[in-house]
Structure 1
Amino acid sequence: MSVDRRGQAEAFDGIGQSYDDAFPHKEGQLAAGRRLIEALPPGSRVLDVGCGTGLPTARQLTGAGHTVLGTDISAGMLRLAEKNVPAAEFRQIDIADLRADGPGGIGRFDGIVCFFALLMLPRPEIPAALRRLHGLLRPGGLLALSMVEADLDDVAIPFLGHTIRVSGYLGDELRQVVGEAGFDIAGEATYSYAPTSTDVPPEQQIFLHCRRG
C-alpha cells in the first residue's frame, strides 16, 4: 500500500468472520444494492471498494448477473470473500492505489459500490478518493456510497475487539464533498443501525445514489 494502513488492515484481518456476525442484517446496504442493480445495464462491470467478506454486496451483484471486482486492504477479509463469492474476482488494493490505466490499472466500470470504505480514511484523503472513483467510472456511471454520519477525523475507536481509526461527516458536508468530486446525487436514504454484539447507541448510516457528472 502506498499509504501506510497496515494497522487498519491487521485489525480487519483479526476481525474476520466476526464482522458479519456483528452486522448480520445490513438492510441499508442490501436496499442500496438493489437500487444500483435496477439502474445498471445487464451484465455491467462493477467495482466493490472495501468489499470485506463479499457479503452481502459482491454476492448480490454477481447474483444479478454483473461482473464484480472486489478490493480491500485486508488479506483476511479477501480470503473470506473468495470463499463466499467464488463468482467474483478479488484483489488486495488500497483505495489510494486504485487507477484505471497504467501498471496495476483495473480499467473502468459501469458502477461502483463504496459502502463504509471511506470511513477508514483521514478526512484530507477522502476528496481525492472520491475523485479517483469518479475517474474509474465510465461516463454516466453510477456510484452507491455509504458513510456513518459523524463529525470525526481519523479518530481511534474500539471495534469488535480491535482498534480502528475512522472519519465521518455530517450529512450536508458529505453531500458537498461528494458533489465537489464531480458526482450528481440522485437519491438518498438514512438508516439507524447498531451491531448485534454490542450495546453502543445506533449509528446513523447515510446511503447516497450518485451518477458521474
Structure 2
Amino acid sequence: MNVGGTDRTDRSGQAAAFDAIGGRYDEAFPHKEGQLAAVQRLLSQLRPGARVLDVGCGTGVPTARQLVDAGHQVVGVDLSAGMLELARKQVPEAEFHQADLTTLSAQGPDGLGQFDAVTCFFTLLMLGRAEIPDALRLLRSLLRPDGLLALSMVEADLDDAEIPFLGHTIRVSGFLRDELRQVVRDAGFEITGEETYAYAPASTHAPPEHQLFLNCRRTGQ
C-alpha cells in the first residue's frame, strides 16, 4: 500500500507503520480472492509481455507475483521501504521503486514511461478524498491509450479518518460505490467490470468490510 499521514503531503508516519507491519500484513490478509480475480480479468485482456505498473505493491504478493508468472513486465512502487524489501525477495523478476503515488510521472528524469495496465489495490484509501481524483488522473497519464486499470477500494463514507490497523494507527478515506464510480469516470475511465466482496481480516477484530473491485479502461487521447 501507498500510505498517507496527518499532513497529506507528508506520508512518512504511515510509511513507518507499514515498515513495522512488514510480513504481518500478508498474515492478517491471507485471502485475497477479489484481488486475484481482478488480476485474472486483467490478464485476459493483456497482450503477451505487457508492461504493468503495480501501484502500492506492498509485499509483491499476490499481484506482482501473479503478473510476472503470466509473463508480463512488472514495475512496482510503494512508499514503504519495509514492504519493498519483502517484494524484492518474493518477486525478484520485477522492478521496484520507493515512491509516493502522487509524485509518479511518465516523463522526466525519474519518469516511469507509459504502461499497458496499472493495478492499484486499496492504495487510494491512504489519500485524502480531495487527492483521489487527481491521483486517478495521474494514473490515467501513465497509461497508453486504451490502457487498463484494475482498481479496488473499501466502500466507506470516510475522509482522512484514523483507524487502528495491526497495532498501528493509519488514516483512510473512502467513497460509497455510486460516488466512487462517478469519480472514476470523471477521471477519464470507462468501467468495464465490477465485483464486490465481503472481507473479514484474519487475526484482527475489525468487522467485515465491503471491497469494490473495478476493471477500467482509459478513454480519450
Is 1:37 the equivalent of 2:43?
Answer: yes
Is 1:104 the equivalent of 2:104?
Answer: no
Is 1:69 the equivalent of 2:81?
Answer: no
Aligned to 1:123: 129
* Matched-pair identity in %: 69
- Equivalent pairs counted in the alignment come to 213
**Residues 122-161 of structure 1: pairs in structure 2 closer than 5 A:** 122-161=128-167
Cα distance between partner residues in 2 of 1:106 and 1:3: 21
Deviation for aligned residue 1:137: 0.2
Is 1:20 the equivalent of 2:26?
Answer: yes
**Residues 184-203 of structure 1: pairs in structure 2 closer than 5 A:** 184-203=190-209
Cα distance between partner residues in 2 of 1:99 and 1:51: 17
CA-to-aligned-CA distance 1:60-116 (integer Å, 9 cap, x gap): 000000000000000000000000101101000100110000121000000000000
12, 17, 25: which one aligns with 1:6: 12
TM-score, normalising length from structure 1?
0.98
Is 1:94 the equivalent of 2:62?
Answer: no
**Residues 197-212 of structure 1: pairs in structure 2 closer than 5 A:** 197-212=203-218
Cα distance between partner residues in 1 of 2:206 and 2:85: 29
RMSD over equivalenced CA pairs, Å: 1.1
TM-score, normalising length from structure 2?
0.95
Aligned to 1:162: 168
Matched to 1:125, the amino acid is: E
Cα distance between partner residues in 2 of 1:86 and 1:200: 33
Aligned to 2:188: 182
Q: Give the secondary structure class of the aligned counterpart of 2:35.
A: helix
List gaps (5 residues or longer) in structure 2.
none
List gaps (5 residues or longer) in structure 1.
none
Cα distance between partner residues in 2 of 1:142 and 1:58: 16
Cα distance between partner residues in 1 of 2:14 and 2:45: 33
Q: Give the secondary structure class of the aligned counterpart of 1:39.
A: coil
CA-to-aligned-CA distance 1:34-82 (integer Å, 9 cap, x gap): 1101111110000000000000000000000000000000000000000
Matched to 1:135, the amino acid is: S
Cα distance between partner residues in 2 of 1:174 and 1:43: 31
Deviation for aligned residue 1:3: 2.5
